[in-house]
Amino acid sequence: MLSSNLLRSVFPVSSEWVFSCIKCGSRRYCQKPFKKLTISDALSTKALGSNIRIQGWVRSVRSQKEHLFLHVNDGSSLQPLQVVASHDLNDRGLTFGSAIDVSGSLEKSPSGKQNVELHAKQIQVTGKCDPTEFPFKIKERHSLEYIRQFPHLRCRTNVFSALLRVRSEATSAIQSFFKDNGFIQIHTPVITSNDCEGAGELFQVEPASRDKQQDERDPHYFSVPTYLTVSGQLHLEVMAGAFPAVYTFGPTFRAENSQSRRHLAEFYMVEAEISFTESLEDVMTVMEHLFKASTEHVLTHCAEDVELFHKFVAPGHRGQVDLMLSRKFNVISYTEAIDILNRSSQIFTFPTKWGCDLQTEHEKYLVKHCGNIPVFVTDYPYDLKPFYARDNQDHPRHTAAAVDLLVPGVGELCGGSLREERLEILRSRIIQAGMEDAYEWYLQLRQFGSVPHGGFGMGFERYLQCILGVDNIKDVIPFARFSHSCLL
């Protein structure tokens, strides 16, 4: 005969059901088994009248003379499930923050505060929690700054669990957008030998320890200096030589010594490359449609979670999001942007003469000037852009076919360009930059079946900031890495 422990591991039913079957020796069910459900599924009321089993964490405990009331959440929903139990099932371990396993019947609730409640038959405490030591307190609304101190625990809070559900759904929405529009996903490498942006903000990759004799013969593990990627763009350009549209979505790194609200050392980038295009408008169209399609998906599938942010973190921000979705994005040139800034009565910290890079203060002003609707800024000075940006060959002001998308509250969200497909112009600029040896392979892309192409990158965390109204980028990523901080 099978042991009761083995039966428990095979069948997701209560121990009462297992033992009763063993005792009576019947081959038939002695009572209906408990079906394991997420709390999200239980709240949907589809399982009303069923015996169910839920597992989660206690969000509140209320004890009365005859009954015990618990609110339990398992991360699948913003709303908890109310559990009603006989006082006989009370346990000293049933405290705020404890992990429990509950079996019982799902019934319609007589209270108007919830549609259903679980009438518990069994409650097992699987993980105790001392509420006096737990850094989050029951019925207390903690600030994002406070919970940021506990990266190992902040997923237990309503606001951060909501953020993680939004982040997951936004990831799915972005993947769906590209799939629905014929893009092929490419897994670009995290370790690379190129500096795509040319800014020098790189993390070099080497083993922590190596054989000293080996180091003398070859100081580099890969025989060349290697770095954590700052962008997958150049690798996407390789793939754009075989596919009409490709994208990647993964971690990127910047060794920028900054602890600002806008910067991280590790963050996620959505990058796309489109072949057979000579129009910056084609690139801008994909940017705009990606933003709107993904945001509409998130608003539909994470309505409660988004509302939490728009109600408590950024009151009134929903109107801003709806405005961005309902209006076509503005388009201005860099030259027009400089003129707008110079006509402004606002005093800027950074200079606004033609040829200067736009700073965050400039970007936010331009968005506000354009009605708080996202704005594309095109045709930047040629010298401000990397070697791969297409030369507009215009005079007297020399510009590149490059574009940034600026959005309310964040500033730059996306950056893109047409890529220089003309071999001799590209070769000249690479030689001028002293990079001909490192980028010979890049020149070869233009020799063998090259086509006009362009692409862009979108910062995923900045996107989440934009749609949720979160001020600090450290609050929209599971584990924030930035200068002088790498907790966990």
pLDDT given at position 210: 67
pLDDT given at position 40: 95
Task: Render pLDDT for 250-277 as a digit per residue (tens, 0 to 9).
Answer: 999 999 888 788 889 999 999 999 999 9
**Residue whose token pair is 């510009």:** 399
User: Residue 197's pLDDT band (boundaries 50, 70, 90)?
Assistant: low
pLDDT given at position 258: 80
pLDDT given at position 224: 86
High-pLDDT (> 70) share of the chain, %: 91
Task: Render pLDDT for 331-375 as a digit per residue (tens, 0 to 9).
Answer: 999 999 999 999 999 999 999 999 999 999 999 999 999 999 999
User: Residue 468's pLDDT band (boundaries 50, 70, 90)?
Assistant: very high
Distance CA 415, CA 198 (A): 15
Give the start-to-end residue ranges of the domains of the chain. 34-127, 154-475
Positive or negative: CA dihedral 408, 262, 366, 297: negative
25-39, 41-55, 127-141, 192-206: range with lowest mean pLDDT: 25-39
Mean pLDDT computed over every residue of the chain:
90
Mean pLDDT score, 107-119: 91
Q: Which long-range contacts (CB under 8 A, 24 or more apart) does 112-118 make?
A: 113/82, 114/43, 114/79, 114/81, 114/82, 115/43, 115/45, 116/42, 116/43, 116/45, 116/48, 116/81, 116/82, 117/81, 117/82, 117/83, 117/84, 118/42, 118/52, 118/54, 118/81, 118/82, 118/83, 118/84
CA triple 367-372-374, angle to 5 deg:
65
Task: Render pLDDT for 371-423 as a digit per residue (tens, 0 to 9).
Answer: 999 999 999 999 999 999 999 999 889 999 999 999 999 999 999 999 999 99
Are 159 and 147 contacting, i.e. CB atoms less than 8 angstroms apart?
Answer: yes
pLDDT given at position 437: 84
Nearest to 58 by CA among 136, 121, 113: 136
DSSP β-ladder status, 375-378 and 330-333? parallel
Give me the CATH code for the 34-127 domain, please.
Answer: 2.40.50.140
- Burial level of 184, CB count in 10 A (0-12/13-18/19+)? middle
pLDDT given at position 117: 96
pLDDT given at position 216: 65
Mean pLDDT score, 231-255: 96
Mean pLDDT score, 208-226: 74
Q: Which fold has domain 154-475?
A: BirA Bifunctional Protein; domain 2 (3.30.930)
